[in-house]
A and B are shown apart, each in its own frame.
Chain A
Amino acid sequence: MKPGEIRPGVERDFELAVHRPEAAGADGLDELTAMAEEEIRFLVSQGRTPDAARAQVAARLGNPATAAAVMRSAQRRESRLKVHDWLDDLRHDAGYAFRTLVRSPALAATAILTLALAIGANTAIFSAVSAVMLRPLPFAEPSRLVMLWEENPDFHWVREDAAPANMFDWREQSGVFSGVAGYLSFSGTSTLTGRGEPRMLRAQTITGNFFEVLGVRPAAGTALTEADTWSDAPRRLMLSWRAWQNLFGGDRALIGQALELNGRAVAVAGVLPRGFEFPGIDADVWMPVRWDKEAASQVWFRRAHFVKVVGRLKPGLRFEAANAGLQTVVNRLKQQYPVTNVHMGAGMTPLHEFLVGKTRLPLLVMLGGVGLLLLIACANVANLLLVRAAGRERETAVRLALGAGRGRLFRQALAENAVLALVGGAAGVGLGAWGTRVLSALQPAGMLPVSGIRLSSAVLLYALGVTLLAAVIFGVAPTLWTARRVAADVLRDEGRTASATLRARRWGEALLVSQVALALALMLGAGLLVRSYLLLQRVEPGFDPRNVLAVELNLPGIRYDSTRKVLAFYEALEREARALPGVETAAVASGVPLGPPMWSSEFSIAGRPPMERGGEVLHREISAGYQRVMRVPLLRGRLFSDADEADGVRVVLINQALADRYFRNEDPIGRRISFDRVPDSTSYWRTIVGVVGSERQRGLAEPPRPEFIAPFGQDSRSGMTLLLRSAGDPAALAPALRAIIARLDPLLAISSIRTMESVRADSLARDRFLTVLMLCFAGVGLLLGVVGVYGVMAQLATRRMREMGIRIALGAKATQVQWLVVRHGALLTVIGIVTGATLALVGARVIRTLLYQVAPLDPVTFVAVPLLVLITAVLASWVPALRASRSDITMVLRAE
């Protein structure tokens, strides 16, 4: 072989070059010897005697050190070249993979888009999971923080708010906490005046030591302290970072200055740090509770439960030990205060667990959903690659025959998968970044921490992991296919041997079954959620939310310091609102159903002994027209009238739920009730004048609770909601209402204006969010599944074209031939459906608690969804069957 006849480097590609180091060294010595011989020949040709020439050359090369140096050098060259080769191969593989993908852009685009969708969805959902569940709370030593709650079997209370007096006793007497603080379970608003337009600020009320217990240091100024809890301290507040920046431009001079809030001067003690965020609370100002020290000894301080309590365990104290310490105090309090604490239990939960508890399951369900989606996508891409690998088996065989190593082919297949996965993954992360923003924007308020959902390093790591996992999953089948092919078979044109066809079919069938199973499981999960959501939607709330506008107001106590002033304001407001064109009727109420939680208390019925186990009732105050506005039916007795004034007989309405539970066999009209469990001479009695329909107060999924409704004229409150029933779109009334309120009191800011329809919709926000997301995932899953079924069936149909052609030539009808393929597809789909349904049964148990009146084995869902999948799959296999049966038989036979 003449040098130059083989292109440089080809020997190495075909592994003809020397590879082992010893061989390389020997090769080097051979070359040295060959050179010496050449030189001897040259010297002889110059006229030297052979002996002399040999002696001359030996003198130069005889040194053993020379030979050793050449050997070492040759070995070093070989090992370094190996590294170079490896890198070159990698570059070649990647380049080859890239070119292959570019040559079939449709395939590459489909695969990358599929992967990007799945990886993007995974990235976005994981960013939420990471923000909610994995990131520790932004407080000092968060693992020592616990939520303390009360429970009471009498009221069906589980993890409820605590009474302040109990909170103080736990702190003083248990000895297991280094600090205990509280915050009110409802956030309020506060009107800022004296700085341009009046502004409504979101206010969260806390005990003075709240930030101390959390271990949060102010970014500027000083923190509130324990002393701020009580009303004898000067009025101070803390600003959130955002409020400080947005409302006051980050003005440092503001610290120590007074703001006018609800007409009172309140000094700014300090500003919270930028990263401070308490899950579920979005406040501009944090204000102390300012409890009266005198009041602390009164019975209401132990009876009213409205504080969420955060405790910090003493260092090194274990959770169980701390809980035992708490229980000792709880039992002592039961004995000590039988009137309020007789069945009042308490317990603790790690703070993080308590705060994210309700969000965890929906998030995990979403993560499971996108996980399934990813698997379906992988199956799809695997199928695409498998089809192509089968189509390229000639090329593969030629390369094998030319000496390309099997390992090299394997690597090349891997490189293709890696390039696909990485491009898909990169596109997926881009989609995911967009998805996190969508997720933040669409999430129901308070479900996810707003600032936390982002592509953190943990999320990127997860995305990379998911991408690599995807590459492995979708790469296994086509790669094994490529590497296992027997070159000789293919080249001898026996590529379509029975065994090869069978193997290709097996892979395709397995992919089809798993795709159907995964898509079905995903759709069944989504189907259950949709069923549950539709049922929830159809729940009668007990009032008519259509065409009702709700305007929430809160009169500042400093200017409205008497019942008369409060009543006068709301009476004027109601009168003026009713006079607006388009308003049918108007009323005020201290709360709206499905809105923020209403107050509740115990009660007793005159003439009956105190209840063995107390009872809880919600209570509200309304003006006379409330039931007309909300279209709540009157069932017995009468509604309120304007005659039910402060100096009249104390009257009350009860809802049907209360009448059913406590007046089952008697007429409640005329009976008297009190808000004391054990009434005494100071108790305040009210006479029941009517029974009204029950409204669902706390959510559509929860049955109505017993409720008392008192006339606003006899029991006024400064915070009320104006309700308007309009003839047309209620939202259109908002500007006119703002004008009325501004005229009545220019310093009053409106807390909120919402339609009752949106109040109702918001109460379902979490369910809707989860359902819509899962429905999206299921839709994409079905789409990918259909594409997958089509792909596999098209492949199988093509492989059976010859058989179909012969059958048709022998007189079979086209429909009979098509049926062969469709039956095959349907059979595989049924196997997939059975597998998927089994999978879904396990999953349905997990989401059971998220479902409303839908059994995990809901027959409607478990019949409708598989049927839909089956029909879709049959259609997807019928199309390729149709195409295959119509192809020209002679062409097919000749091609084979």
Chain B
Amino acid sequence: MLLKGTLDALVLKALSFGPRHGFEITRWIEAGSQGEFPIEPAALLQALHRLEERRCVTAAWGTTENNRKARYYTLTPAGRAHLRSETASLKSSVAALTALLGAR
């Protein structure tokens, strides 16, 4: 199950390795989490729209290796900065959560 508020960070992380299209992002998250975080395409697109609006990513239609149309997303410097701060805050949240739930 995907925790609320973590999708944006994961998308940005996925894009931090280079421009990707929607399904590549989905695949990266699902594979990386061993299927723990299933991604709804609609939710992903809405997250991408949100990020584009905030100038964290830019989008452009391109072609895949298989010569098919796909919308590629690129991380902007603003997105990179956003990713850094999100990562930091999520890590500390997770640590706190772990500590709390691990308490005896």
**A and B found bound together:** yes
- Inter-chain contact B74/A34, CB cutoff 8 Å: no
Set of chain A residues within 8 Å of B42, measured between Cβ atoms: 32, 61, 66-67, 69-70
In the complex, what's the smallest C-beta–C-beta distance from B95 to chain A, in angstroms? Answer: 33
Contact A1–B22 (Cβ < 8 Å)? no
User: Known contacts being A6-B60, A41-B66, is A36 close to B19, with CB within 8 Å?
Assistant: no
Do residues B23 and A61 form an inter-chain contact, with CB atoms below 8 A?
no
Q: Enumerate chain A residues within 8 angstroms of B76, measured Cβ to Cβ.
A: 8
- Interface pair B52/A81, CB less than 8 Å apart: yes
> What 1/0 flags go to A620-634 for Cβ under 8 Å of B?
000000000000000
B23, A8: Cβ atoms closer than 8 Å: no
Q: Give the CA-CA distance A66 to B72 in the complex, in Å.
A: 21
Contact indicator B60/A11 (Cβ below 8 Å) = yes
The reply to whether the CB of B62 lies closer than 8 angstroms to some CB of chain A is yes
A855 to B45, CA, bound (A): 82
Tell me, in angstroms, the Cα distance from A848 to B66 when the chains sit together: 89
Within 8 A of A (CB), among B4-49: 18-19, 21-24, 26-27, 40-42, 45-46, 49
Tell which of A4, A6, A11, A61 touches B41, judged by Cβ atoms closer than 8 Å.
A61
Q: Are A31 and B46 in contact (CB under 8 A)?
A: no
Neighbouring B residues of A80 by C-beta, 8 Å? 53
Interface assignment of B82: CB less than 8 Å from any CB of chain A:
no
Distance (whole angstroms) from the CB of B54 to the closest CB of chain A: 9
Count how many chain B residues have C-beta atoms less than 8 Å from C-beta atoms of the other chain.
31
Which one of A31, A37, A76, A77 contacts B68 once the chains associate, using CB atoms below 8 Å? A37
Across the interface, do B70 and A34 meet the contact criterion of CB distance under 8 Å?
yes
Smallest beta-carbon distance B51→chain A, Å: 9
Q: Does A648 contact B (CB under 8 A)?
A: no
A41 to B26, CA, bound (A): 14
Chain A residues near B46: list those with CB within 8 A: 69-70, 73
- A99 part of interface (Cβ distance < 8 Å): no
Interface check A39, CB cutoff 8 A: yes
Instruction: Please report the C-alpha to C-alpha distance between residue A32 and residue B21 in the assembled complex, in whole angstroms.
Output: 11
Inter-subunit contact B45/A32 (CB<8 Å): yes
Task: Report if A1-B62 is in contact (Cβ < 8 Å); known contacts: A38-B23, A60-B40, A73-B49.
Answer: yes
Measured between beta carbons, the chain B residues less than 8 angstroms from A42 are 23, 27
Which one of A4, A6, A73, A81 has the highest number of Cβ atoms from chain B below 10 Å of its Cβ?
A: A73
Determine if A74 is an interface residue (Cβ-Cβ < 8 Å): yes
Q: Given A81-B52, A84-B53, A70–B45 Cβ distance below 8 Å?
A: yes
Determine if B58 is an interface residue (Cβ-Cβ < 8 Å): yes
Q: Are B23 and A39 in contact (CB under 8 A)?
A: yes
> In the complex, A1 Cα to B40 Cα: how many Å?
29
B52 and A32: CB pair below 8 A?
A: no
Closest CB-CB distance, B20 to chain A, in whole Å?
Answer: 9
Hey, which chain B residues are within 8 Å of A2, CB to CB? 62
A/B pair count, beta carbons within 8 Å: 88
A73 / chain B contacts, CB cutoff of 8 Å:
45-46, 49-50
Per the bound structure, the CA–CA distance linking A84 and B45 in Å amounts to: 20
A387 to B98, alpha carbons, bound, how many Å? 70
Say whether B71 faces chain A, with CB atoms less than 8 Å apart.
yes
Interface footprint category on A:
20 to 34
Say yes or no for B69: interface residue by CB 8 A criterion: yes
Residue from A35, A70, A76, A81 within 8 A of B23 (CB atoms)? A35
A47-91 CB contact bits vs B (8 Å, 1 = yes)?
Answer: 000000000000011000011011001101100110010000000
In the complex, residue of chain B having the shortest beta-carbon distance to the beta carbon of A79: B53
Chain B: minimal CB distance from A354 (Å): 65
Mark out the residues of chain A between 1 and 24 whose CB falls within 8 Å of any chain B CB in the assembled complex: 1-4, 6, 8-9, 11
The chain A residue with its CB closest to the CB of B55 is A84
Q: How distant is B73 from chain A, measured CB to nearest CB, in Å?
A: 9
Indicate whether B64 reaches chain A with its CB closer than 8 angstroms. Answer: yes
Most buried by A among B52, B53, B69: B53
Once the chains bind, are A35 and B22 in contact (CB under 8 Å)? yes
A40 to chain B, nearest CB (A): 10
How many Å from the CB of B69 to the closest CB on chain A?
6
The yes or no answer to A28 lying at the interface (CB within 8 A) is yes
Smallest Cβ-Cβ distance to A81: which chain B residue = B53
Distance in Å: Cβ of A27 to nearest Cβ of chain B: 8
Residues on B with beta carbons closer than 8 Å to the beta carbon of A67:
42
Residue of B nearest to A67 (CB): B42
* Residue contact A31 to B45, C-beta cutoff 8 Å: yes
Contact B69 A77 (CB under 8 A): no
How far does the Cβ of A262 sit from chain B's closest Cβ, in whole Å? 81
Chain B residues, Cβ within 8 Å of A84: 53, 55
* CB within 8 Å of A: which B65-87 residues: 66, 68-72, 74, 76
A34: B residues at CB distance < 8 A: 21-22, 68-71
Instruction: State A658–B45 Cα separation when bound (angstroms).
Output: 104
- Report A-chain residues with C-beta under 8 Å of the C-beta of B74: 3-4, 8
| Shortest beta-carbon distance from A243 to chain B in Å | 65
A30 to B45, CA, bound (A): 11
Bound CA–CA A41/B68 (angstroms): 11
Binding site for A on B (CB under 8 A): 18-19, 21-24, 26-27, 40-42, 45-46, 49-50, 52-53, 55, 58, 60, 62-64, 66, 68-72, 74, 76
18 pairs, CB–CB < 8 Å, chain A vs chain B: A3-B60, A4-B18, A8-B60, A9-B58, A31-B71, A34-B22, A34-B68, A35-B26, A35-B41, A38-B64, A39-B26, A42-B23, A42-B27, A66-B40, A77-B50, A77-B53, A84-B53, A84-B55
Given A4-B18, A32-B45, A39-B26, 17 further pairs, Cβ under 8 A: A2-B62, A30-B69, A34-B70, A34-B71, A36-B41, A38-B22, A38-B23, A38-B24, A39-B23, A41-B66, A41-B68, A42-B23, A66-B41, A69-B42, A73-B46, A77-B53, A81-B53
Give 6 closest A-B pairs by Cβ, nearest first: A8-B58, A38-B23, A3-B72, A77-B49, A3-B62, A66-B42
